[in-house]
Amino acid sequence: MFPPPKETLAPMSADFESQPMIKATGFREYDARWLFPDEINLTGMQALGLGLGTLLHERNAAHIIVGHDFREYSQAVKLALINGLMTAGVRVVDIGLALSPTAYYAQFACDVPAVAMVTASHNENGWTGVKMGSGRPLTFGAEDMARLRDIVLGGAAKSQAGGTYEIVEDMAAQYKADLTNRAAIAKKLKAVVATGNGTAGIFAPPVLEALGVDVIPLHCELDYTFPHHNPNPEDIGMLHAVRDAVLASGADIGFAFDGDGDRCGVV
Protein backbone atom coordinates (compact mmCIF):
# COMPACT_ATOMS: atom_id res chain seq x y z
CA MET A 1 0.00 0.00 0.00
CA PHE A 2 1.38 3.40 -1.01
CA PRO A 3 0.98 6.53 1.10
CA PRO A 4 -0.83 9.44 -0.56
CA PRO A 5 1.47 10.75 -3.31
CA LYS A 6 3.46 13.92 -2.77
CA GLU A 7 2.97 16.88 -5.09
CA THR A 8 6.74 17.37 -5.31
CA LEU A 9 9.86 15.52 -4.16
CA ALA A 10 13.48 16.53 -4.40
CA PRO A 11 15.17 14.79 -7.33
CA MET A 12 18.17 12.57 -6.65
CA SER A 13 16.93 11.82 -3.14
CA ALA A 14 15.95 8.70 -1.23
CA ASP A 15 12.35 9.93 -1.06
CA PHE A 16 12.21 10.38 -4.84
CA GLU A 17 13.32 6.77 -5.28
CA SER A 18 10.91 5.30 -2.74
CA GLN A 19 7.86 7.56 -2.43
CA PRO A 20 5.16 8.27 -5.04
CA MET A 21 5.14 11.74 -6.56
CA ILE A 22 2.17 12.82 -8.68
CA LYS A 23 1.26 16.40 -9.58
CA ALA A 24 -2.51 16.76 -9.18
CA THR A 25 -2.93 18.86 -12.33
CA GLY A 26 -1.91 15.87 -14.44
CA PHE A 27 -5.38 14.39 -13.98
CA ARG A 28 -7.14 16.04 -16.90
CA GLU A 29 -10.75 15.83 -18.05
CA TYR A 30 -10.31 12.86 -20.39
CA ASP A 31 -6.83 11.46 -19.72
CA ALA A 32 -3.69 11.97 -17.64
CA ARG A 33 -0.58 13.85 -18.73
CA TRP A 34 2.63 14.77 -16.88
CA LEU A 35 6.17 15.92 -17.46
CA PHE A 36 8.39 12.95 -16.62
CA PRO A 37 10.09 12.79 -14.17
CA ASP A 38 9.42 16.37 -13.03
CA GLU A 39 5.71 15.88 -12.25
CA ILE A 40 5.45 12.12 -11.79
CA ASN A 41 8.10 9.54 -10.89
CA LEU A 42 8.09 5.79 -11.52
CA THR A 43 6.79 5.09 -8.02
CA GLY A 44 4.02 7.57 -8.74
CA MET A 45 3.18 5.62 -11.86
CA GLN A 46 2.97 2.46 -9.74
CA ALA A 47 0.57 4.30 -7.44
CA LEU A 48 -1.48 5.35 -10.47
CA GLY A 49 -1.67 1.72 -11.58
CA LEU A 50 -2.76 0.64 -8.11
CA GLY A 51 -5.45 3.31 -8.08
CA LEU A 52 -6.63 2.44 -11.58
CA GLY A 53 -6.79 -1.21 -10.58
CA THR A 54 -8.87 -0.32 -7.54
CA LEU A 55 -11.28 1.61 -9.77
CA LEU A 56 -11.51 -1.31 -12.20
CA HIS A 57 -12.48 -3.64 -9.36
CA GLU A 58 -15.23 -1.19 -8.37
CA ARG A 59 -16.58 -1.61 -11.89
CA ASN A 60 -16.05 -5.37 -12.21
CA ALA A 61 -13.62 -4.71 -15.06
CA ALA A 62 -10.29 -5.93 -13.63
CA HIS A 63 -8.90 -7.13 -16.97
CA ILE A 64 -6.94 -4.61 -19.03
CA ILE A 65 -5.05 -4.06 -22.28
CA VAL A 66 -1.81 -2.07 -21.81
CA GLY A 67 0.47 -0.65 -24.50
CA HIS A 68 3.05 2.11 -24.91
CA ASP A 69 4.18 4.62 -27.52
CA PHE A 70 7.74 5.15 -28.78
CA ARG A 71 9.58 7.43 -26.40
CA GLU A 72 12.82 6.84 -24.54
CA TYR A 73 11.04 6.31 -21.22
CA SER A 74 7.60 4.98 -22.23
CA GLN A 75 8.36 1.30 -21.68
CA ALA A 76 9.70 1.95 -18.17
CA VAL A 77 6.64 4.06 -17.37
CA LYS A 78 4.36 1.31 -18.69
CA LEU A 79 6.07 -1.39 -16.62
CA ALA A 80 5.67 0.73 -13.47
CA LEU A 81 1.97 1.16 -14.27
CA ILE A 82 1.65 -2.61 -14.82
CA ASN A 83 3.31 -3.27 -11.47
CA GLY A 84 0.63 -1.21 -9.78
CA LEU A 85 -2.19 -2.82 -11.74
CA MET A 86 -1.03 -6.31 -10.85
CA THR A 87 -0.62 -5.34 -7.20
CA ALA A 88 -4.29 -4.32 -7.35
CA GLY A 89 -5.20 -7.80 -8.58
CA VAL A 90 -5.78 -6.89 -12.22
CA ARG A 91 -5.19 -9.27 -15.13
CA VAL A 92 -2.88 -7.42 -17.53
CA VAL A 93 -2.56 -8.08 -21.27
CA ASP A 94 0.54 -6.29 -22.58
CA ILE A 95 0.52 -5.57 -26.33
CA GLY A 96 3.91 -3.82 -26.28
CA LEU A 97 4.76 -0.96 -28.63
CA ALA A 98 1.48 0.21 -30.10
CA LEU A 99 -0.69 2.97 -31.47
CA SER A 100 -3.62 4.09 -29.35
CA PRO A 101 -6.08 2.74 -31.96
CA THR A 102 -4.29 -0.63 -31.75
CA ALA A 103 -4.90 -0.71 -28.00
CA TYR A 104 -8.58 0.05 -28.49
CA TYR A 105 -8.82 -2.64 -31.17
CA ALA A 106 -7.14 -5.11 -28.80
CA GLN A 107 -9.95 -4.66 -26.29
CA PHE A 108 -12.30 -6.27 -28.80
CA ALA A 109 -9.82 -8.76 -30.26
CA CYS A 110 -8.91 -10.10 -26.80
CA ASP A 111 -12.37 -9.59 -25.24
CA VAL A 112 -10.97 -7.34 -22.50
CA PRO A 113 -13.08 -4.51 -21.01
CA ALA A 114 -10.42 -2.01 -19.92
CA VAL A 115 -7.48 -0.22 -21.52
CA ALA A 116 -4.48 1.86 -20.44
CA MET A 117 -2.34 3.27 -23.23
CA VAL A 118 0.89 4.92 -22.06
CA THR A 119 1.38 7.85 -24.41
CA ALA A 120 1.97 11.58 -24.45
CA SER A 121 0.14 11.68 -27.79
CA HIS A 122 1.30 14.73 -29.79
CA ASN A 123 3.12 16.35 -26.85
CA GLU A 124 6.81 17.10 -27.04
CA ASN A 125 9.56 14.96 -25.53
CA GLY A 126 9.56 14.98 -21.76
CA TRP A 127 5.84 14.34 -21.50
CA THR A 128 4.14 11.08 -20.60
CA GLY A 129 0.55 10.15 -19.91
CA VAL A 130 -2.12 7.48 -19.94
CA LYS A 131 -5.32 7.18 -21.97
CA MET A 132 -7.72 4.91 -20.09
CA GLY A 133 -11.11 3.25 -20.25
CA SER A 134 -13.03 0.68 -18.23
CA GLY A 135 -15.72 -0.36 -20.71
CA ARG A 136 -15.14 -0.60 -24.45
CA PRO A 137 -15.55 1.32 -26.68
CA LEU A 138 -15.55 4.33 -24.35
CA THR A 139 -12.53 5.98 -22.76
CA PHE A 140 -12.64 7.90 -19.49
CA GLY A 141 -14.60 11.11 -19.17
CA ALA A 142 -14.59 13.79 -16.50
CA GLU A 143 -16.38 11.76 -13.80
CA ASP A 144 -14.10 8.75 -14.35
CA MET A 145 -10.97 10.87 -14.12
CA ALA A 146 -12.24 12.61 -10.99
CA ARG A 147 -12.87 9.27 -9.29
CA LEU A 148 -9.43 7.99 -10.30
CA ARG A 149 -7.79 11.18 -9.02
CA ASP A 150 -9.57 10.88 -5.68
CA ILE A 151 -8.52 7.25 -5.23
CA VAL A 152 -4.89 7.88 -6.14
CA LEU A 153 -4.27 11.21 -4.40
CA GLY A 154 -6.33 10.19 -1.38
CA GLY A 155 -4.26 7.06 -0.81
CA ALA A 156 -7.41 4.94 -1.10
CA ALA A 157 -6.01 2.35 -3.53
CA LYS A 158 -6.14 -1.26 -2.37
CA SER A 159 -3.83 -4.18 -3.08
CA GLN A 160 -5.22 -7.67 -3.52
CA ALA A 161 -4.34 -11.05 -4.97
CA GLY A 162 -5.20 -12.19 -8.46
CA GLY A 163 -2.98 -10.06 -10.66
CA THR A 164 -1.62 -11.80 -13.77
CA TYR A 165 0.53 -10.82 -16.75
CA GLU A 166 0.22 -11.92 -20.38
CA ILE A 167 2.07 -10.72 -23.48
CA VAL A 168 0.44 -10.61 -26.91
CA GLU A 169 3.23 -10.26 -29.45
CA ASP A 170 1.29 -10.02 -32.71
CA MET A 171 -1.41 -7.44 -31.97
CA ALA A 172 0.04 -4.99 -34.50
CA ALA A 173 -0.17 -7.67 -37.20
CA GLN A 174 -3.73 -8.53 -36.18
CA TYR A 175 -4.75 -4.88 -36.37
CA LYS A 176 -3.09 -4.41 -39.75
CA ALA A 177 -4.85 -7.49 -41.12
CA ASP A 178 -8.21 -6.26 -39.85
CA LEU A 179 -7.72 -2.84 -41.44
CA THR A 180 -6.55 -4.12 -44.80
CA ASN A 181 -8.94 -7.07 -45.14
CA ARG A 182 -12.02 -4.87 -44.85
CA ALA A 183 -11.03 -1.95 -47.06
CA ALA A 184 -10.05 -1.22 -50.62
CA ILE A 185 -8.90 1.89 -52.48
CA ALA A 186 -10.30 2.01 -55.99
CA LYS A 187 -8.07 4.78 -57.31
CA LYS A 188 -4.30 4.44 -57.45
CA LEU A 189 -2.81 6.97 -55.03
CA LYS A 190 0.65 8.31 -54.37
CA ALA A 191 0.89 9.53 -50.78
CA VAL A 192 3.53 11.16 -48.62
CA VAL A 193 3.33 9.57 -45.17
CA ALA A 194 4.99 11.57 -42.39
CA THR A 195 5.22 10.38 -38.79
CA GLY A 196 7.81 12.69 -37.22
CA ASN A 197 9.93 9.65 -36.26
CA GLY A 198 7.16 8.59 -33.86
CA THR A 199 5.29 5.34 -33.30
CA ALA A 200 3.15 5.56 -36.43
CA GLY A 201 6.29 5.17 -38.55
CA ILE A 202 6.23 1.39 -38.27
CA PHE A 203 2.46 1.08 -38.73
CA ALA A 204 1.06 3.63 -41.17
CA PRO A 205 3.32 3.00 -44.22
CA PRO A 206 2.84 -0.80 -44.35
CA VAL A 207 -0.93 -0.50 -43.83
CA LEU A 208 -1.29 1.98 -46.67
CA GLU A 209 1.01 -0.08 -48.91
CA ALA A 210 -1.13 -3.15 -48.24
CA LEU A 211 -4.11 -1.12 -49.46
CA GLY A 212 -2.30 -0.43 -52.73
CA VAL A 213 -1.06 3.09 -52.00
CA ASP A 214 2.29 4.17 -53.43
CA VAL A 215 3.87 5.40 -50.19
CA ILE A 216 6.60 8.02 -50.00
CA PRO A 217 7.81 7.81 -46.38
CA LEU A 218 8.92 11.00 -44.66
CA HIS A 219 10.66 10.78 -41.27
CA CYS A 220 9.22 7.32 -40.61
CA GLU A 221 12.32 5.85 -38.93
CA LEU A 222 11.86 5.47 -35.18
CA ASP A 223 13.92 8.07 -33.33
CA TYR A 224 12.74 9.22 -29.94
CA THR A 225 14.80 12.41 -30.16
CA PHE A 226 12.34 13.61 -32.84
CA PRO A 227 15.20 15.25 -34.79
CA HIS A 228 13.10 17.03 -37.42
CA HIS A 229 10.00 18.21 -35.58
CA ASN A 230 7.50 17.01 -33.03
CA PRO A 231 5.13 14.28 -34.35
CA ASN A 232 2.13 16.59 -34.24
CA PRO A 233 -0.05 17.40 -37.26
CA GLU A 234 -0.73 20.82 -35.71
CA ASP A 235 3.02 21.58 -35.78
CA ILE A 236 3.52 23.99 -38.66
CA GLY A 237 6.99 22.58 -39.28
CA MET A 238 5.56 19.11 -39.83
CA LEU A 239 2.86 20.41 -42.17
CA HIS A 240 5.37 22.44 -44.18
CA ALA A 241 7.61 19.36 -44.53
CA VAL A 242 4.68 17.32 -45.83
CA ARG A 243 3.64 20.10 -48.21
CA ASP A 244 7.15 20.34 -49.61
CA ALA A 245 7.38 16.56 -50.07
CA VAL A 246 4.00 16.42 -51.82
CA LEU A 247 5.02 19.17 -54.23
CA ALA A 248 8.46 17.68 -54.88
CA SER A 249 7.19 14.14 -55.49
CA GLY A 250 3.99 14.94 -57.33
CA ALA A 251 2.04 12.98 -54.73
CA ASP A 252 -1.75 13.13 -54.67
CA ILE A 253 -1.97 13.58 -50.93
CA GLY A 254 0.09 13.84 -47.77
CA PHE A 255 -0.62 12.41 -44.32
CA ALA A 256 0.92 13.72 -41.08
CA PHE A 257 0.44 11.39 -38.10
CA ASP A 258 0.86 12.26 -34.45
CA GLY A 259 2.91 10.32 -31.90
CA ASP A 260 0.36 7.63 -31.07
CA GLY A 261 -1.41 7.43 -34.42
CA ASP A 262 -4.87 8.65 -33.44
CA ARG A 263 -4.59 12.03 -35.14
CA CYS A 264 -3.76 12.82 -38.75
CA GLY A 265 -3.35 16.01 -40.72
CA VAL A 266 -3.93 15.95 -44.48
CA VAL A 267 -2.24 18.03 -47.16
Quote the CA–CA distance of 106 and 221 in Å, as a whole number. Answer: 25
What helix, strand, coil percent values describe the chain, rounded to 5?
35, 20, 40
C-alpha angle 242/246/249, rounded to 5°?
130
Strand duo 164-167 + 127-133: pairing: unpaired
What's the DSSP call for residue 252?
A: S
Measured distance CA(88)–CA(111) in Å, rounded:
20
- What DSSP line would sit under 20-71, residue for residue? -BB-GGGB-SSSEEEETTTTB-HHHHHHHHHHHHHHHHHTT--EEEEEE-SS
Query: What is the tally of helices (H) and strands (E) in the chain?
Result: 8, 10
- Which residues are annotated as catalytic? 121
Residue 145 Cα to chain centre, angstroms = 16
Confirm if 229 and 88 have CB atoms less than 8 A apart.
Answer: no
H-helix or E-strand spanning residue 168:
none
Contact in structure between 130 and 118 (CB atoms under 8 Å): yes
The HSE-up count of residue 163 (CA atoms within 13 Å, CB side) is 20
